[in-house]
Structure 1
Amino acid sequence: MRSFARRRQNTSRLLPLLRSPLLGELMAWICLHPEMNYSLAELARRFNVSQSAIGKEADRLAEAGLVRSEWRGNLRLLRAEPSNPLARPLTELLALTYGPIAVLADLLPAVPGVVEAYLYGSWAAHYAGEPGPPPPDVHVLVVGDADGAELAGAADLAERQLGRAVHLYQVSSMEWRWPERDPFLMSVRSSPAYALVGAPR
């Protein structure tokens, strides 16, 4: 599987208005979880970057009034700023572009039996640099023995949050480890993908 690294991308491909993929992922995570506070350390771990990188982006977003930044002792916390007039349209833009990361990376780890999960297909190709408008749907490969009904429930919730179809394809850990007999799995392994669960992002 050709996983791709945001650090190699100088500009955002999903939303060219943004300076970088990290900024898109960070803003989507905060804006699509408006009820939550996140520390710089939490966000740095989630996106596999340094706290200073998150802090620099947080400074810019706070200065623009797009996020709230507050200190609790030595802990700096960030959360969405719903009173900003840009909040609603910006959140809609982020849901259409970086939303699959923010929503699915939150929902799928909570489903028992999910060992790994990857965004693949048109969304992943677009993230990796393929030109064009935002894909109309999202494809996710789930590895493990999770209950099908629970996965379907997570997909339904994600569809409501993202406003687009979410297609989950589940395989066992053994099938994923030895994909040679399945042309579909071989094609997924050779295509761009974004790790949501179980692998470094």
Structure 2
Amino acid sequence: MRTPPPALLPILRSQVQGRLLALLYLHPEVEYSITDAAAGTGASVKAAHQEISRLVEAGLLTDRRAGTSRLVRAAVDSPLARPLTDLLALTYGPLPVLTTALSGLRGAETAYIYGSWAARYNGEPGPPPADVDVIVVGDVDVDDLDERARRAEKILRREVNVRRVRPETWADGTDPFVSTVRARPKVAVPLDEQEQVDA
């Protein structure tokens, strides 16, 4: 059974394709094994392999062998690279960009993208999100958090609204804002460098 096109960028064939392209094009200096690319996008190795093979054949990715591993990266020499990177930054970009931006943030326990971007990412139809909303749970330096958000904005070319919530407020769940965020679609942002793929 054919799955519907992704709500973030309906011109793509699948959500996995969008996640893979965003990971590779927004980190063009990194080569990923198929396993690492799958882990970095939450896809199965089989699904990642199939999509990567299609994208290599189409000239959007390049690959090479290193021992038994197949390494892939964005085809940055393609005339499509710049416009595709721009399009991916505006659609799928928030998750890989914020994963990198929030990596190693001292005091952070968890982070989520919520709001309209998370809704589109989770398949809810609607207009393209105008901004990106992020909640960070932990005792973090607000100035450091804001600086990281501003760096992400430069790549994503849209406003990144970051809100810090103390762990006890998040755990309690009685705060109206926290209750709303918990009830609506959200996307976890990996904070531990070990969870990331060379980001």
Q: TM-score, normalised by structure 1?
A: 0.89
Note if 1:105 corresponds to 2:106: no
Q: Which residue identity does 1:62 align to in structure 2?
A: V
TM superposition shift of 1:22:
1.3
Compute the RMSD of aligned alpha carbons: 1.7
Alignment partner for residue 172 of structure 2, among 175, 178, 188?
Answer: 178
Hey, what does 1:151 align to over in structure 2? 145
Q: Which residue identity does 2:117 align to in structure 1?
A: W
Q: TM-score, normalised by structure 2?
A: 0.90
TM superposition shift of 1:49:
2.7
Structure-to-structure mapping, 1:58-137, within 5 angstroms:
58-137=52-131
Hey, what does 1:17 align to over in structure 2? 11
Q: What whole-Å deviation, never above 9, does each CA across 1:57-116 have from its counterpart, x for those lacking one?
A: 110110011011111111111111111111111111111110101101222122122211
SS at match of 2:30: coil
Hey, what does 1:187 align to over in structure 2? 180
What is the alpha-carbon distance in structure 2 between the residues aligned to residue 55 and residue 40 of structure 1? 6
Residue pair 2:135, 2:164 contacting (<8 A) in 1 also: yes
SS at match of 1:19: coil
What is the alpha-carbon distance in structure 1 between the residues aligned to residue 20 and residue 43 of structure 2? 11
SS at match of 2:125: coil
Q: What whole-Å deviation, never above 9, does each CA across 1:109-136 have from its counterpart, x for those lacking one?
A: 2212221111101111222334333211
Residue pair 1:115, 1:197 contacting (<8 A) in 2 also: no
Larger mean CA deviation between 40-49 and 74-83 belongs to 40-49
Unaligned runs of 5+ in 1: 1-8
Unaligned runs of 5+ in 2: none
Structure-to-structure mapping, 1:43-58, within 5 angstroms:
43-58=37-52
Q: Which residue identity does 2:181 align to in structure 1?
A: V
What is the alpha-carbon distance in structure 2 between the residues aligned to residue 127 and residue 47 of structure 1? 12
Residue pair 1:15, 1:97 contacting (<8 A) in 2 also: yes
Q: What whole-Å deviation, never above 9, does each CA across 1:125-173 have from its counterpart, x for those lacking one?
A: 2223343332111000101112212211110110000000000011122
What is the alpha-carbon distance in structure 2 between the residues aligned to residue 146 and residue 26 of structure 1? 30
TM superposition shift of 1:188:
0.7
Note if 1:27 corresponds to 2:21: yes
